[in-house]
Amino acid sequence: MDDISMKPQQVTITALSEEGEGIGRLDGMAVFVPGALPGETVECVLVEQKKNYARGRLTQILAASPARVAPPCPYFPECGGCQLQHLDYPAQLEAKRVTVQDALERIGGFKGIEVPLTLGMDAPLRYRNNGQYPIRKVNGQVRIGFFKAGSHEVIDIKDCLIQPEINGRVVAALKTWIQETGVTTYNPKTQEGVLRHLMIRHSNVTGGLMVVLVATVKAMHGEAALVARLVGAVPEIESLVLNTNTKPGSQVLGPQNKVLFGTERIYGEIDGFEFGISPLSFFQVNTAQTKVLYQKAIEFADLKGSETVFDVYSGIGTISLSLSRKARKVYGIESVRPAVEDAVENARRAGVEHVEFIAGKAEDVMPRLAEQGIRPDVVVLDPPRKGCEPEVLRTLLDMKPEKIVYVSCKPSTLARDLKILCGGGESGLEEPAYKLVAVQPVDLFGETGHVETCVLLSHKNS
């Protein structure tokens, strides 16, 4: 293929990418086709061509997958939030299993690994505990919804099927208030206007809501009327916060919060522990499936009670506290200081004293702990999408914990890191250090292409 041609090309789709696009091959080159499903033969026009891959726009489905369904959501595929509404749920779980298996084989160099079926929800609906809705006015009409796929245009959405139904009531009440008061909305091009985002978070402890309005100002006109309007319409609101974000760019929240009504935080429960959720704290968005994922991590760690454990990338301490039930000592390592402060407070509230949280980058903290002669028996890794820094993996290879449990939200970086921990050859190790014992994908993000994976490694000498 020399140039991008407008001529439709026929492609057979064999897998889904981590972003939920169909993947096929043309003359040996990978072609990503959004909207196409594994097992389908489709026609597409190439819209982008790089050295190693191309991207196609689906023009016709020549042979549809039997797993293709009518999308339950009327905003699909225009809305950029979901990518797999047109694939039935069992097939989504299987496609994610294949994504993990492919990454381990292709990038990790593992052969003959049998990845079991992705652990899923009963139905991938209404599962999110956190919704972030951009707010815009277009020709005088208020839009509160999500960005259109591949753009910054906001689609007005009355009810998002992966969010709780009650969110629609908050959206409707806010919209009426904006229309009535004439308050301006943000224009990212001119950086003018007041209201930027609506965030709604849910407590699985009380069933109550935290509503955060993100604005470019520190105070709003008519705050009391706003409170009366929103809380009047949705009495489940336990906390209403004004967050100020004056910075241009795509980051939703700014650093400053002012409570307009109710409490400063709501609480989420996982594994019997309660976690304070404030506007800026990280909390996994699918609480029920997070429990499934962490249970797997705990099962893989198989602690006896005498171990020193590292929970690296510990966030607000969710995994650390669960692990603390059966460990002599747990060290949580986390780079975001407010998250560490939350973690310390969560441990204090739970009365857990043998967990220590250290603020700093894992790649700096781990070598320091090694120098102090602190050696873990078991390490849990739960890094962001980009995976672990090489220094973290090098330190692990020196520390030689008996077990490493790797919780990953991106199969490709997981596979890359596992290759370093397990591989000889390119890892620079004379002998492979770890062996891959078990893999389990878990679905936290139904209807989207993302998948979480929990992996158990054990040291060859243990």
Q: Which residues are known to be catalytic?
A: 409
Interface with ligand SAH includes 235 (CB under 6 A)?
no
Report the residue from 105, 181, 282, 402 that binds ligand SAH according to the rule CB under 6 A: 282
Rounded to a whole number of angstroms, the minimum distance from the CB of residue 407 to ligand SAH is 7
Minimum CB separation of residue 120 from ligand SAH in Å reads 19
* 313 belongs to the binding site for ligand SAH (CB under 6 A): yes
Which of these segments, 125-133, 193-201, 335-343, 439-447, binds ligand SAH (CB under 6 A)? 335-343
> Site size for ligand SAH, by CB under 6 A?
18
Stretch that binds ligand SAH, among 46-54, 114-122, 233-241, 328-336 (CB under 6 A): 328-336
If one asks whether residue 342 binds ligand SAH (CB under 6 A), the answer comes out as no
Token pair 């878990």 in the structure block, residue:
442
Q: Judging by DSSP bridges, how do beta strands 329-334 and 308-312 pair with one another?
A: parallel
Question: Of residues 38, 108, 145, 315, which one binds ligand SAH by CB under 6 A?
Answer: 315
User: Which residue's CB is nearer to ligand SAH, number 173 or number 293?
Assistant: 293
The region of 12-20, 240-248, 307-315, 343-351 touching ligand SAH under the rule CB under 6 A is 307-315
**According to CB under 6 A, which one of 181, 257, 335, 427 is a site residue for ligand SAH?**
335
Q: Is 322 in the site for ligand SAH (CB under 6 A)?
A: no
- Closer to ligand SAH at the Cβ: 258 or 337? 337
Check: CB of residue 451 under 8 Å from CB of residue 411. yes
Looking at beta carbons, which residue is closest to ligand SAH? 315
How big is the chain, counted in residues?
Answer: 462
Q: Which of residues 42-101 bind ligand SAH (CB under 6 A)?
A: none
Residue 181 CB neighbour total at 10 angstroms? 14
Within 80-163, residue ranges assigned H as helices are 89-106
In the complex, least distance from residue 132 CB atom to ligand SAH, rounded to whole angstroms: 17
> Which tokens is 386 given?
């980009």
The reply on whether position 339 binds ligand SAH by CB under 6 A is yes
Residue number with CB closer to ligand SAH (273 or 313): 313
Closest CA to 293 of 71, 450, 460, 120: 120
CA distance 39 to 13: 6
Identify whether the C-beta of residue 229 lies closer than 8 Å to the C-beta of residue 189: no
**d(C-alpha 58, C-alpha 32), whole Å:** 10
Residue 401 is given by DSSP the state -
Among 314, 395, 412, 413, binds ligand SAH (CB under 6 A): 314
Among the listed ranges 128-136, 217-225, 301-309, 312-320, the one in contact with ligand SAH (CB under 6 A) is: 312-320
Tell me whether residue 215 is exposed, middle or buried, using C-beta atoms within 10 angstroms of its C-beta: 0 to 12, 13 to 18, 19 or more.
Answer: buried
| Torsion-angle region of 221 (φ positive above 0: left; ψ -120 to 50: alpha; else: beta) | beta
DSSP-derived secondary structure letter, 427: G
The SS3 call for residue 298 is: helix
Instruction: Mark out the alpha helices in 238-317 (DSSP H runs).
Output: 287-301
Q: Which of residues 347-406 bind ligand SAH (CB under 6 A)?
A: 361-363, 382-384
Q: Among residues 203, 289, 318, 324, which is the contact residue for ligand SAH, using CB under 6 A?
A: 318
Minimum gap (Å) between residue 335 Cβ and ligand SAH: 4
Shortest spacing between CB 333 and ligand SAH, in angstroms? 6
* Residue with smaller CB distance to ligand SAH, 277 or 339: 339
Q: CB–CB of 141/182 below 8 Å?
A: no
**Cβ closest to ligand SAH, residue 25 vs residue 361:** 361
Three-class SS state of 450: coil
Q: Are 206 and 238 in contact (CB under 8 A)?
A: yes
The DSSP 8-state label assigned to residue 110 in this structure reads -
| Tokens at 299, concatenated | 């099962």
User: What residues pair up with 26 in beta bridges, in sequence order?
Assistant: 29
Indicate the angle between helix axes 223-233 and 166-181, nearest 10 degrees: 150
- Binding residues for ligand SAH, rule: CB under 6 A, are 282, 284, 313-315, 318-319, 333-336, 339, 361-363, 382-384
